[in-house]
Amino acid sequence: KERFLLENIRTLLPSNNSSNLSMPRLAEHIIKDAEDGRYDSSATVMQPYREEALNDLFKINGLQKAALQIGIVGTFLGLITAFIEMSTNVNDVMLALPNIIDALKYSFSTSIAGLTTSIILNMAVLLILKKNQEMYYRSLEETTESLIS
């Protein structure tokens, strides 16, 4: 393993500090702790950066829940519309039938749209983001271990 003097480590970090990249901030955090004589475990040092990465998953989870809720609201709006049509045209149910069917189509299509969106977002979380998160965590842990050791 190659060793660097603490004061020379910052020269290895990117000079563009305007970006919000976790790795350079993590390295800066570890260097500052070392300069201050603090030597926390890698798990303790990594925790805030791990939580940052989880925020993306929580955002998608929120979108998934919103899609389901919008689908449910649409279902009830369609059902209410169908019931209103039925109650206003009790004597002419046959004349109101096309409007009732349209309201029910709307009702169930919003449910299907909400469920489909939720399923797609869930698959995106499971297949893509979780895999990327795990790779990111491994990289973060390796970087932290190499900087701390």
Answer with the residue of higher pLDDT: 107 or 126: 107
* Most confident segment among 62-66, 124-128, 134-138: 62-66
pLDDT in tens, 19-51: 566 777 777 788 788 888 887 877 787 777 777
Q: Does residue 104 contact residue 82 with C-beta atoms inside 8 Å?
A: yes
Please state whether 39 falls in left (phi above 0), alpha (psi between -120 and 50) or beta: beta
**What percent of the chain is modeled with pLDDT above 90?**
5
CA 118 to the chain's CA centroid? 12
The two three-digit tokens of residue 144, written as one number: 């932290």
pLDDT in tens, 66-100: 888 998 998 898 888 888 877 776 677 777 788 88
* Alpha-carbon span 52 to 42, nearest angstrom: 16
